[in-house]
Every structure is written in C-alpha cells, then in structure tokens.
Structure 1
Amino acid sequence: MGKFNGKVVLITGGARGMGAAHAQAFVKEGAKVAISDILVEEGEKLAAELGEQVKFYQHDVTNQAEWEAVVDDIENTFGPIHVLVNNAGIVLMKSILDMSEEEYRKVIDINQVSVFLGMKSVLPSMLKTKDGSIINISSLAGFRGSSHGSVAYSASKFALRGMTKAVALEMAREGIRVNTVHPGLILTPMTVQKGAEEIIEHLSKEIPMQRAAHPEEVTKLVMFLASSDSSFSTGSEYILDGGQLAEL
C-alpha cells in the first residue's frame, strides 16, 4: 500500500525540475497525479513515462478560466483533489532601475497571482472531502532581499507567506492545511543553465553546508506536508537552505 493510495494530486510547473521530482514520488506512493505546465513536450513525455496514473495539462497558471477547466477535468478523470502543489514560478533578476512595469507584473502574475487562483480554484474540490493539503512553493527570497535585482521575485515570494497564513486560518476548521516551502539553491533546469557553473559554485560556497540541494530533497518535505504525517501543521513555513538563514 502506498502512502497516497486513493489520493489525487495536482502539481503546477510539473514538467521538469522540482515539479517532475514531486510527480515521480507521488506516483510511487500510489497517488493519481495531474501535472500542469506550459512546457507541453516535456510534460506529455513525463506523463507517458509515469503511466496511466498521470495526466498532463497544458495550463497557463495566470488564467482563471484555465484553472477552472483543469480542476473540472481532474475531478471527472480522477475525483476530488486532495493535494495541490503550487510549484510553477519564474525568476527574473533585474535592477529596479532597468525592470519595466510589464516585466514586474509578469513575475507577480506567475509567482503570486497564480497561487491565489490555484487555491481559489482547488479549494471547492477539497471541501467536498474535508481533506486537503496545499503546499505553496516560495523561496529563501521570501525571507530576505538581495542586491542582485530581486525586487519582483522577492516581492512575489514574500507575498506567498502572507497569503498562505491567511488561507490556512480560513480553512483550519475545514480539514484543509496550507503551508509554504522555502528552498534555497536547488539544482534544477532553471538554475543549472549553460555557463552558470561558476555562479553555482560561488553561491554554494556561501551556504554553510557548502553545496546546493537536489530536487528530491525538496520532494521529501513536500511529501511530508501532503501526508497525514503533518496533520497538525498549517500556516507554517518550512525552510530548506543548508543553514543560510541561520546566519542572519
């Protein structure tokens, strides 16, 4: 028996990186998994590899109508949703002096507004069973600023903390828990790009544990928060940063 037998999980940004690692782990534990992304080729390939327990959705997470359509189809295909992992996000490091309003709003829309839309769209499904866990993937940047052009990214990730606490309190008596995960430097396609090796090495030296983390290390925490093992945890913040915040 898998830990998530009979459970339905939706993971945004699930085509690669952390989202793909989460999907693979949930499938191994018996869950029915919906992965959504704008990366169609990668998403469809992953779903095919993981089998009939998985369905891929081409999904713009900033679009409410698409959220509603995805949730409706998941319910028709698998049943009510038990777990939502709001994993989709982008990084745009640019000085406030150089960043346009359009660029700022794009980061906020994808990293922050999409999480609001996701929670709003999925909660009615979770309320049908009074059994739900929402995991919002924030960042170490949700706790501190940076001099490297993080104005939009930090704003979006700080916002997730407040949104999560507010919704956690609203849903506390409904059997639905809402928490945030705050990774530091993770080795994903978004961070490990050609030519970034020296930057990764430099950033790793600033981490007390002297290394970056792997997506699977985040997955273990996500699985904990999705399961009944964390049944009394809601409105909380979980940090995976190799000790960086401990130095502040």
Structure 2
Amino acid sequence: MRIMIVGASQGLGRAFIEGLGDRSDHLIGVSRSVPARLPERAGIEIDWIEADLALPEQAARSVAEAVEAGGLDVLIYNLGLWESRAFEPDYRFLNDSPAEIQRIVTVNVSGAILLIQALLPALLRSSSPRIVLTGSTSALPGHGRPEVAFAASKFALRGIAEALREGFREHHLAVTCLQLGYLNTEDDLTVPVEHAARRGDGELIPLHDVVQLVRTLLALSPSAYVKEVIMPAIGDARF
C-alpha cells in the first residue's frame, strides 16, 4: 500500500508517518521542507516530498508528478492552519488580519481541493482508493468555538468529502472525514499510551488513538468505508 501524508513533519502527521503502514508498504510524507533525518522503520519504505500548500497550484503539480509513476492508494490530508491566537482566551475575530485569514483558507481549503484534483488520476488506479481528511470538532454544529476562519475551513472539508463521494462513486472512492477534538501533541508514539492519556485529565486525545483509528480505516475491505468519525476527548464538555 502506498500512503501519502500531507502535513507530515510534526504532531499528528509525524505520528502517522511513525505509526501507519505494515511491512512492504510505502509511506510518502509531504511538508514545506524535508526533515534532516527521515524516520526509519523496518520493512517500510519512507520517502518525502517538499511542497508548500500555501502555493497550492505549484504544490499540487509537483506532488502529483512525484507519484505519477508509482501510483497511490491512500491520501491523508492532515494539513490545517489556525489563527495565531486560536484556542486562547484572548482570541478575537476582529483582530485577525486579512492576510492570515486568506492563508488559512488557501492552505486548508484551496490546498486540499487542488491537491486532491491533481492526485485523483493516480488514486483511481488503485483497487481500493481512499482519502482521509483531518477535520475538527470545530466543523460540527454547536462546536462552541469562536475561531471563524478555522471553523469555516473545517466545515468546507465536509462539503469536499460529500462531493467527491458522489462524483467518483462508480470508482469506489472512499472518503472519510475525521472530526477530531483537542489532541495531546506533546507526547509522541514513543510515550506509552497510558501515560499520554493522563495529560489533560481527559480533555486531550493521545495521538496513539488517532493513529489506531486510521489503521482500522485502512484495513477495511474495498466494499466498506467510514463516512465520518467524530472523536472528541472524553472530558470535552462541548460534546
């Protein structure tokens, strides 16, 4: 299986690189710069593509060219920017600059659409093509957050997913939205999950849980898919 993870340099994207795939699989990381040292995993090939989705047309073209020959089975679009004061008590929409808002929409929405469009010819050659879009509980009604651009961009992912399913239903394209709550990005996969789960007193999701969830999605037969997963932390009072 050839799996591409966009936004793979840190946080959840890095955890996907370190935790997805089985022997003989091929992982392809995408980020603005190539890490100085790529992860090494026995029996799994790991490559990297340098691309800046703030320049979505150029990035989409270069990424598609890089995988054209080898093909692709899974695309995980994990890239998502948020406002500089997002999730802070002093966040105010009126303080967001137009440039920051535009960058969020460009990377989170335009980047996703243009990259998917460029990669679809390669994906549709797969016997079981899958797209996983990393969304947020901020895309859900009653999410209780004031960040406008971030929420709007995550709402957009649901529309992208719905349209792709309809447009490529005859190709059996599986598209899943992960609506994730607050993540514990302090503890990587080397930290035992029972320790990572203690951080935040139940208000943060260990990366281990998200990786395990996506492993399950990728293990489904070509006849099944999961449309949407809503995954808040157990202590998140909003849900």
Bin of the TM-score, shorter chain as denominator length: 0.7 to 0.9
Q: Is 1:233 matched with 2:230?
A: no
Alpha-carbon shift at residue 204 of structure 1 (Å): 4.4
If the length of structure 1 is used for normalisation, what is the TM-score?
0.79
Alpha-carbon shift at residue 107 of structure 1 (Å): 0.8
Alpha-carbon shift at residue 243 of structure 1 (Å): 4.5
- Tell me the SS of whatever aligns to 2:233: coil
Check conservation: 2:131, 2:176, Cα contact below 8 A.
yes
Rounded to whole Å, the distance in 2 between the matches of 1:218 and 1:127 is 25
2:53 corresponds to which residue?
61
Alpha-carbon shift at residue 98 of structure 1 (Å): 1.0
Q: Is 1:218 matched with 2:218?
A: no
1:17 corresponds to which residue?
11
Gaps of 5+ in 2: 187-197
Quickly say closer, same or farther: Cα 1:232–1:246, change in 2 above 3 A. Answer: farther
Provide the aligned length of Structure 1 versus Structure 2: 221
| Aligned equivalent of 1:139, options 133, 136, 144 | 136
Rounded to whole Å, the distance in 2 between the matches of 1:127 and 1:33 is 18
Q: Is 1:113 matched with 2:105?
A: no
Amino acid at match of 2:131: I
Q: Is 1:33 matched with 2:30?
A: no
Q: Is 1:123 matched with 2:142?
A: no
2:74 corresponds to which residue?
83
If the length of structure 2 is used for normalisation, what is the TM-score?
0.81
Amino acid at match of 1:241: P
Q: What is the percentage of aligned positions where both structures have the same residue?
A: 22
- Tell me the SS of whatever aligns to 1:136: strand
- Tell me the SS of whatever aligns to 1:20: helix
The alignment's C-alpha RMSD in Å is 2.7
| Aligned equivalent of 2:66, options 73, 79, 82 | 73
2:2 corresponds to which residue?
8
Alpha-carbon shift at residue 17 of structure 1 (Å): 1.3
Structure having the larger proportion of residues in helix: 1
Quickly say closer, same or farther: Cα 1:38–1:70, change in 2 above 3 A. Answer: same
Gaps of 5+ in 1: 1-6, 190-200
